């Protein structure tokens, strides 16, 4: 959720949403309920308010959400995702070069890399 320091109320979570993201209370509560159902957060009562505590690290949540979107939108094809971003102008040439260098370095570190 992007919050540091653990548990937060719905109001605090809403105040920390990205700039253009202004969800209605009911939308945010529904989203938090779905996250709780999936084991990503836990809600506890404090007085008359629910307080939500993250149960997974942001990186772990992002990895799972990204994998789900990749499967849903691209059938798991990373190349298709990258092509869409490039075709839509969301990846500059410099970003593509940086990505290519990173992929080359990552592949070279892999035990599966074949030097022959």
Which residue is listed with tokens 């260098």? Answer: 101
Are the C-beta atoms of 28 and 50 separated by less than 8 Å?
no
The tens digit of pLDDT for each residue in 13-22 reads 999 999 888 8
Angstrom distance (rounded) from CA 1 to CA 28? 11
| Residue 52: Cβ-neighbour burial (10 angstroms; 0-12, 13-18, 19+) | buried
Angstrom distance (rounded) from CA 107 to CA 47? 52
The tens digit of pLDDT for each residue in 45-96 reads 999 999 999 999 989 989 999 999 999 999 999 999 999 999 999 999 999 9
In the chain, what are the helix, strand and coil shares in percent, each to the nearest 5?
Answer: 55, 10, 35
């Amino acid at each position: 959720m992007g919050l540091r320091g653990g548990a937060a109320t719905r109001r605090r979570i809403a105040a920390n949403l990205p700039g253009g993201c202004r969800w209605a209370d009911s939308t945010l509560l529904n989203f938090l309920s779905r996250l709780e159902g999936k084991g990503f957060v836990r809600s506890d009562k404090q007085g008359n308010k629910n307080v939500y505590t993250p149960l997974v690290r942001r990186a772990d949540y992002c990895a799972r959400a990204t994998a789900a979107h990749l499967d849903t939108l691209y059938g798991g094809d990373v190349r298709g995702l990258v092509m869409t971003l490039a075709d839509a102008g969301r990846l500059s040439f410099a970003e593509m070069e940086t990505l290519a260098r990173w992929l080359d370095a990552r592949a070279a570190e892999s035990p599966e890399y074949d030097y022959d």
